[in-house]
A and B are shown apart, each in its own frame.
Chain A
Amino acid sequence: MNRRSLLQGLSFSMLAAKLPGASSLYGQAEGPQAAPSRRIAANDRVNIGFIGPGSRGQELIRQLLRTPGVEIAAQCDVYEPRFAEVNEMVGKKVPAHRDYRELLQRKDIDAIFIATPPVFHASYAIAAMKSGRPVYCEKTIGFTQEDSQNVVDAVRKTGQVFQVGHQMRYASWIRDSIERVHQGEIGEPTQVYGYWHRSDNWRREAPNPSLEHLMNWRLYRESSGGLLEELGSHHIDIANWVFKERPQTILGASSIAVYHDGRTVGDNVQAVLGYSKGRRMFFSSITDNGLMADQLWIYGTEGSLQITLEDATFYKQTSKTITEASHSDVVQKGVATGASYSADSAMPYRGPGDRLQAKPGEDATLTACKSFVECVRSKQQPFANVEVGFGSAIACSTGRAAVYEERVAKIPQLPA
């Protein structure tokens, strides 16, 4: 495969063929024609069709099981051991399909969740919306630039409710703190610095070698944008949210420093994203580390904000004061000499910090699922809507070229 075809994106069937067993199982064509879907009243049970209940998918199912008025009504996967795992979690046998088109043809499904590898997101999401169903789609909404544009077009054309899996938008402490940033709490935000440093090889155990690409799709360029896409997309989305726009450029770098195990995506990645007025976002992800570390810093002209997976803290620079000095003490008596160290001064740039008093943090994915179900009932577009999804996806699909070729790439903007 040459670089051009890789970077422009492969056709769905080519990609499906790359994942052993997938082509004949997931199905290759566009989805079925619109299946008649019922109207959902405010108190009606919402029946979910779930495509791709792997590790992330099962986390979504777990949260859906905690969402009132929701039923996991059907599941679809090419890897059949998932079916039993889902049945156990749900506590009953959930009708299972190996082909997503069969699932979409069911008459008892009100909304679709998609948590497959991202190469399938766009085609499945578009088929689901054409079948008349609202869609919750894991990030990124598209693998290629064209994919992401097509998903936006489909939402605009069908008017379906569409939510992207940027659950950090639903974390109460992140939402509250970014609202404060928008109200001027740290002046004008100019930089976002995000890192997600893992402490593992990022590899899933494949039951046998023929399943390597299916299980470890994250590690291969044909099926994954690597750490930038899988982890960086969440942080890029927060930068887009803070700056209230999508990035214009991305500068990237990546290499394999440790895991020379056949993977073709880097085990470390760095990216600098350019926004208007010289504002920047920096992202780093590595796999060797003493602990899991996921943090975001938002720097402004009058302070900074630190966001973690559990809380948020504002820091303000201590204001400098100038007082009058005593001539007799300083000049006549002279100044004293002595030891200089004071523990409080060791990190003078780190002010005392104002811990955000957020409501006790419900799991952000649960809030995201509840919010989606509310949107399905009320037919409102979610907070993490398709344009939010476009913003991170377009940066990541463009970023692949930048990262592999270590250059600056221009990010296409969304036509109005």
Chain B
Amino acid sequence: MDTITLNPDAQLYCTTHPAMGTEYSLYLYAPSREQAAAIARPVFEEVDRVDGLLSNYQPGSELSRINREAFQHDVTTDPETFGFLATCLAWSERSRGAFDISVGRLMKAWKFFGASGAVPSQEELAAARADVGWEKIRLDRGQRTVRFLAAGIELDPGGVGKGYAVDRAVRVLRAKQAPAALLSAGSSTIYALGAPPGEAGWKVRVPFAGAGEDPISTVILRDTSLSTANLSEKNFVHDGHFYGAIMDPRTLRPVEGMAQVTAISPSATDSDALSNALFVSGPEDRALLLDGRQQDCALVIREKQCGQEKQFAAEYEAIRWPAEVANGQIAALANAKEKVKL
């Protein structure tokens, strides 16, 4: 990659843009406010374009069209969408189904689509079982078509869409020759391009709600991405039990016993998918997920029930994690009520 030198007069600017149900933030160095704006505009246009491609809330999106039609007939799609779906299925295969974008009906059964969740009836869950499963999605590379093998399959890009949008937007930043920028999709996926002047990279703090104000780890990122999966976005408590919006597609239930996963990978699509796959996977599969991916690393925070009922300790597992982790803080106890505030 060409090294783009930072103009000595460059200043740090920040701008935000609402998209994909969150707020994107862009920090970048530019010689003037006007030049910062001239870069930010096409970056956010690209985010909106990806939203229009993958949104399952917009009926006119390509993903919505595939959801409507792919059970009835082969749907011809564009190479970009095809490539995105192929990437998603590759992550499903690699994660043994822990990562799966076919969870649309499951998210609806648990009322996590456009709402904050509720426990479904047994009938609703049984109905969802037939409609979930990445192996029921067939891609034909030669014809560039998508076909569903079950009538109710619905793709939900929730576990990877923001990461993909960040990757595409970073391409625009590179094309505009932005020397140093940080793009954040509501903080769940972050890409660090280049480095601030005189720094080795962009500093990203990994907080953990159970551990108070201080971050549990701080990493320096340069030309790589970081994604975090936790249950702070959508969750509910029913009969004193905490339910979060990250589903295990194999059990059709929200994942239990996990608190937070942060993953680092050169591709934001991959770090987003990886953080979710690690969140859903058991310990053995977690190790396999990072096997052969030397540039990827992760910080996994599990919950461990300890002592009395509804009391938990957090414990961490660092996989090639490049920074120190404040172990003592993570061990802080968090009860189920506090977890709601994650």
Which A residues contact B (CB, under 8 angstroms)?
A: 62, 65-69, 89-91, 205, 310, 360-363, 366
Contact = CB atoms under 8 A, between A and B. Distances in A.
A310 B52 CA distance: 13
B143 to A, nearest CB: 8
A53 to B, nearest CB: 14
Interface string B65-95: 1001000001111111100000000000000
Contacts of A69: 76
Given A205-B38, A310-B60, A363 B65 contact: yes
Contacts of A68: 74, 76, 145
Contacts of B59: 310, 360-362
B79 A91 contact: yes
A209 B144 CA distance: 40
B65 A362 contact: yes
A362 B78 contact: no
B100 interface: no
A65 B78 contact: yes
A360 B78 contact: no
B248 interface: no
Interface string B133-173: 00000000000110000000000000000000000000000
Contacts of B102: none
A360 B77 contact: no
Nearest to B145: A68
B64 interface: yes
A83 to B, nearest CB: 15
Max chain A Cβ within 10 angstroms of own Cβ: one of B59, B65, B74: B59
B74 to A, nearest CB: 8
Contacts of B42: 205
Given A205-B38, A360-B59, A361-B59, A67 B64 contact: no
Max chain A Cβ within 10 angstroms of own Cβ: one of B60, B74, B81: B60
9 contacts: A65-B76, A66-B65, A66-B75, A66-B81, A68-B76, A89-B78, A205-B38, A310-B59, A310-B60
B16 to A, nearest CB: 16
Contacts of B78: 62, 65-66, 89
B270 interface: no
B141 to A, nearest CB: 10
B77 to A, nearest CB: 6
Nearest to A85: B175
Contact of B77 (A65, A310, A362): A65
Nearest to B64: A360
Interface of B: 38, 42, 59-60, 62, 64-65, 68, 74-81, 144-145
Nearest to A69: B76
B68 A90 contact: no
Contacts of B81: 66
B242 to A, nearest CB: 35
B79 A66 contact: no
A65 B78 CA distance: 5
B60 A362 contact: yes
Contacts of A89: 78-80
A69 B144 CA distance: 11
A360 B69 CA distance: 11
A66 B76 contact: yes
Max chain B Cβ within 10 angstroms of own Cβ: one of A67, A69, A361: A361
A212 B201 CA distance: 36
Contact of A67 (B74, B76, B79, B80): B76
Contact of A66 (B60, B62, B68): B62
B178 to A, nearest CB: 14
Contacts of A91: 79
A216 to B, nearest CB: 14
Given A66-B62, A89-B80, A310-B60, 18 more contacts: A62-B78, A65-B78, A65-B79, A66-B77, A68-B145, A89-B78, A89-B79, A90-B79, A205-B38, A205-B42, A360-B68, A361-B59, A361-B60, A362-B65, A363-B60, A363-B62, A363-B65, A366-B65
A210 to B, nearest CB: 18
Contacts of B145: 68
A314 B75 CA distance: 33
Contacts of A361: 59-60
B216 to A, nearest CB: 40
A90 B145 CA distance: 14
A62 B38 CA distance: 25
Contacts of B80: 62, 89
Contacts of B75: 66
B182 to A, nearest CB: 22
Contacts of B64: 360
B149 to A, nearest CB: 20
Nearest to A70: B76
Nearest to B144: A65
B292 to A, nearest CB: 26
A16 B145 CA distance: 41
A65 B81 CA distance: 10
A318 B38 CA distance: 50
Nearest to A201: B41
CB-CB nearest 7 A-B residue pairs: A91-B79, A65-B78, A360-B59, A68-B76, A363-B60, A361-B59, A361-B60
Max chain A Cβ within 10 angstroms of own Cβ: one of B74, B78, B79: B78
A172 to B, nearest CB: 10
A360 B74 CA distance: 19
